Amino acid sequence: GYSGGHVKNPSYEEVCTGKTGYAESLQIEYDPQQISFDELLEVFWKTHDPTTLNRQGADVGTQYRSAIFYHNATQKEKAEKYKAALNKSGAFDNPIVTEITPFTNFFPAENYHQDYFYNNANKNPYCKIVIQPKVEKFRKVFKDKLKAQYQH
């Protein structure tokens, strides 16, 4: 979906112009009894490159910026502390450019974008080249947190 912009109910095409202010994003609803916000932050930081401004791999534009849209002061504080600790640790060769900003809105992406990887993994080279390595990294790093059906 799309978050952080100023146009009501944007389309993918509008977001791709870079004029709506939106970032391609996920809205995650979770049960803190099952997974903590800290664990979600760990997944966030370990599954993408937070050091490239307005870019993820070959995808370039403000809609590809690294962002955390927090819902309360505790989430903001935890995200900022995690970012600062990673920068200090030298975990990345370059400084982290992830924006940490208040959540204002979220619009689901169009239906054809839902479950995109799973619906297009064998049809679209982009899925094999760009998405699949990220999914594999996620499955490897977080295998112990996944249900058995998602571990392979």
Structure confidence by residue, pLDDT tens digits, 16-32: 999 999 999 999 999 99
Nearest-CA neighbor of 68 among 33, 96, 90? 96
Co-location of 130 and 81 in the same domain? no
Co-location of 98 and 120 in the same domain? no
The sign of the dihedral angle between the CA atoms of 29, 108, 120, 125 is negative
Co-location of 127 and 106 in the same domain? no
Co-location of 46 and 106 in the same domain? yes
The sign of the dihedral angle between the CA atoms of 94, 95, 97, 101 is positive
As for how many domains the chain has, the answer is: 2
Question: Does residue 151 have a pLDDT over 90?
Answer: no
Task: Provide the Cα torsion 118, 122, 127, 128; round to 10°.
Answer: 130
- pTM, two decimals, is 0.89
Residue with tokens 């200090």: 88
Q: Helices 132-141 and 37-46 sit at what angle, rounded to 10 degrees?
A: 130
The tens digit of pLDDT for each residue in 79-106 reads: 999 999 999 999 999 999 999 999 999 9
Q: What is the mean pLDDT of residues 41-64?
A: 91
Asked if 43 contacts 83 with a C-beta cutoff of 8 angstroms, the reply is no
Radius of gyration over alpha carbons of the chain, in Å? Answer: 16
CA distance 151 to 138: 10
Co-location of 48 and 108 in the same domain? yes
CA distance 64 to 53: 8
Q: What is the pLDDT of residue 126?
A: 86
Q: Which domain holds residue 136?
A: 115-152
pLDDT band of residue 117 (cuts 50, 70, 90) is: confident
Q: What is the CATH number of the domain that holds 12?
A: 3.30.1060.10
